[in-house]
Amino acid sequence: MTGAIRALLVIALIALVTFFTRLLPFVLFPEGKETPPYVRYLGKVLPFAIIAMLVVYCLKGTSLLTWPYGLPELIAVAAVVALHVWKKNTLLSIGVGTVLYMVLVQFVFAT
Amino acid sequence: MQKETSAKAQKVKLALRAAFPMTIPVMVGYLFLGAAFGILLESKGYGFGWAALMSVIVYAGSMQFVAVDLLATGAGFLQVALMTLMVNIRHVFYGLSLLGKFQNFGAKKPYMIFSLSDETFSLLCSAEPPKNVDRSWFFFFIALLDQLYWIVGSVVGGLLGSSFSFNTQGIDFAMTALFVVIFVNQWRETKSHAPALAGLACSVVCLLLFGADNFILPALISMVVLLTVVRKRLDRPEEEATT
């Protein structure tokens, strides 16, 4: 079963590299030592910027130039924002937004 | 001694109870996305055991989907390593954002670092434990529950395989909605919207320039550059005594 051993090695390699990317900053800037002010500044502002990036990341596959022109995404995201500003209930915003989006892509804008 | 252990058990239970509701959005998303991964992997001839193994030791959503391809096409080790590095390099920036948060986590710290997925990162950024709840246990349970959902989802997907026919198209929007909600929360909690706007602008511009498959790294680099350029204006002196 060399196929299985090869697959195991591939998975182990992926696990190692993934952990490396997560571990690196903690090795570079260990707890005992003073973290440079510039790095602390980045740590303060980056979470805001990265969450914005993750929103874009989730929507990256949306095509604005072909039908349905990103309308399901636009409507569902707008609904989540509006509902969340109004009710401030995380589960409600996510639940309603997701069901709305599913209805939109499965029925309303079905291709 | 008896009293001490029961006090500790109480502390742990309290943290678990506080952490669970925070993770429900991720639970919904991970169960379905994990199942989608398990189904895909099974369709390439790797059953639920493989799905479980990957979800336990790799635990990286989008990378596991890429890994299905790498396994199926018999990619070389160098290609696997480089691909993983490219797909997951964004995690370096997550760690940078959480350097302070994991201080004094002791034995839990290695697991906190290992389990830094996109969704766990976003919850760690946004959730705050109630006053009477232990901080490190609270964040630890958020991370652990998230991974458990992912493992369960992927194993169930691997078991069901292609017999799973319920139309789940669009269910992955749960993740988008989670990030949007966190974005809105962050927006309302701070006066300075520059970091969020910088992240949004860099991501959109890089998406247009580099395309959906390649924009993450340039987006991260450009937002770090932009935030560095405007540091003097954003970095308030009372929080940075040394500058």
Q: CB distance from A53 to chain B under 8 Å?
A: yes
Rounded to two decimals, the pTM is 0.83
pLDDT on residue B238: 46
Q: Is the pLDDT of residue A48 over 70?
A: yes
Q: CB distance from B139 to chain A under 8 Å?
A: no
pLDDT on residue B242: 38
pLDDT on residue B241: 40
Nearest CA to CA, how far is B64 from chain A (Å)? 9
CB pair distance less than 8 Å for B227 and A56: no
pLDDT on residue B243: 33
Q: Which residues of A touch B236 (CB under 8 A)?
A: none
pLDDT tens digit sequence for A3-13: 899 999 999 99
Per-residue pLDDT of chain B (243 residues; tens, 9 = 90+): 566 788 889 999 999 999 999 999 899 889 988 988 898 888 888 999 999 999 999 999 888 988 988 898 888 899 899 889 878 888 999 999 999 899 889 999 999 999 999 999 999 998 999 999 999 999 999 999 999 999 999 999 999 886 766 677 787 788 889 889 989 998 998 888 999 999 999 999 999 999 988 888 899 899 999 999 999 988 865 444 433
Residue percentage of chain A with pLDDT more than 70: 99
Of A19, A25, A94, nearest to B114 by CB-CB distance is A19
Instruction: Name which of A6, A9, A18, A62 to mutate to probe chain B: the one with the most chain B Cβ atoms within 10 A of its Cβ.
Output: A18
Q: Which residues of B touch A55 (CB under 8 A)?
A: 176, 179-180, 183, 200, 203
Q: Mean pLDDT across chain A, nearest whole number?
A: 91
pLDDT on residue B75: 84
ipTM of the complex in this document: 0.89
pLDDT on residue B166: 65
| Domain-wise residue ranges, chain B | 2-172, 190-243
Q: CB distance from A108 to chain B under 8 Å?
A: no
Q: Which residues of A touch B97 (CB under 8 A)?
A: 42-43, 46-47, 50
Higher pLDDT, B164 or A59: A59
For every residue of chain B, which 3-state class applies, written as one string? CHHHHHHHHHHHHHHHHHHHHHHHHHHHHHHHHHHHHHHHHHHCCCCHHHHHHHHHHCCCHHHHHHHHHHHHHCCCHHHHHHHHHHHHCHHHHHHHHHCCCCCCCHHHHHHHHHCCCHHHHHHHHHCCCCCCCCHHHHHHHHHHHHHHHHHHHHHHHHHHHHHCCCCCCCCCHHHHHHHHHHHHHHHHHCCCCHHHHHHHHHHHHHHHHHCCCCCHHHHHHHHHHHHHHCHHHHCCHHHCCCC
